[in-house]
Every structure is written in structure tokens, then in C-alpha cells.
């Protein structure tokens, strides 16, 4: 299955048609770059991206 990115929270979704974080069904194949957040509570990158849950996130979603 193609990796999709959520247009709302940028979470990369691999095995579903629904985002596991925000429950959105607005997913796209048109994304570039990704970051893996392991500990969002201690990550400056997670703070900058407004990420509260660990996981893979797309940097740019169109």
C-alpha cells in the first residue's frame, strides 16, 4: 500500500484510509520529506510542528 499523509496533522499513514491521530479521511499521496518523532514532550521539532503523538510525519503536504 502507498504511504499517505494526512492533510490536517501531517501524520504518515501506511495501512488505513483514516488518520490514527486526528481521524481525518483527507489523505494524500502528494507529500515530501518526513520526520520521526520519538518523544514529543522533549522534542523541539515536535513543538515547532505542533505534534503531540510519536510517529512519522510529513514535512510538506499538498
**What is the per-residue pLDDT across 2-55, written as a single tens digit (0 to 9) for each?**
899 999 999 999 999 999 999 999 999 999 999 999 999 999 999 999 999 999
Query: Does 19 carry a binding-site annotation?
Result: yes
Q: Return the C-alpha cell found at 15.
A: 495501512
**7 Cα distance to chain centroid:** 9
- Residue 61 Cα to chain centre, angstroms: 9
pLDDT bucket at 1, cuts 50 / 70 / 90: low
| Residue 9 is assigned to a ligand binding site | yes
Q: CATH number for the domain including 53? A: 2.20.28.90
Scan for cell 513543538, then name that residue. 47
The number of domains in the chain is 1
Backbone phi, psi, residue 8, to 5°: -85, -55
The pLDDT value given to residue 2: 84
Residue 14 is assigned to a ligand binding site? no
33: left (phi over 0), alpha (psi -120 to 50) or beta: left
Give residue 9's pLDDT. 95
pTM, two decimals, is: 0.89
| Alpha carbon distance 27, 10 (integer Å) | 9
Q: What is the pLDDT of residue 32?
A: 97
Please give the residue range of the domain that contains residue 36.
4-61
Amino acid at each position: 500500500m502507498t504511504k499517505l499523509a494526512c492533510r490536517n496533522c501531517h501524520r504518515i499513514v501506511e495501512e488505513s484510509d483514516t488518520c490514527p491521530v486526528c481521524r481525518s479521511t483527507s489523505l494524500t499521496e502528494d507529500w515530501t520529506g518526513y520526520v520521526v518523532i520519538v518523544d514529543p514532550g522533549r522534542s523541539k521539532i515536535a513543538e515547532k510542528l505542533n505534534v503531540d503523538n510519536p510517529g512519522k510525519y510529513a514535512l510538506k503536504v499538498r
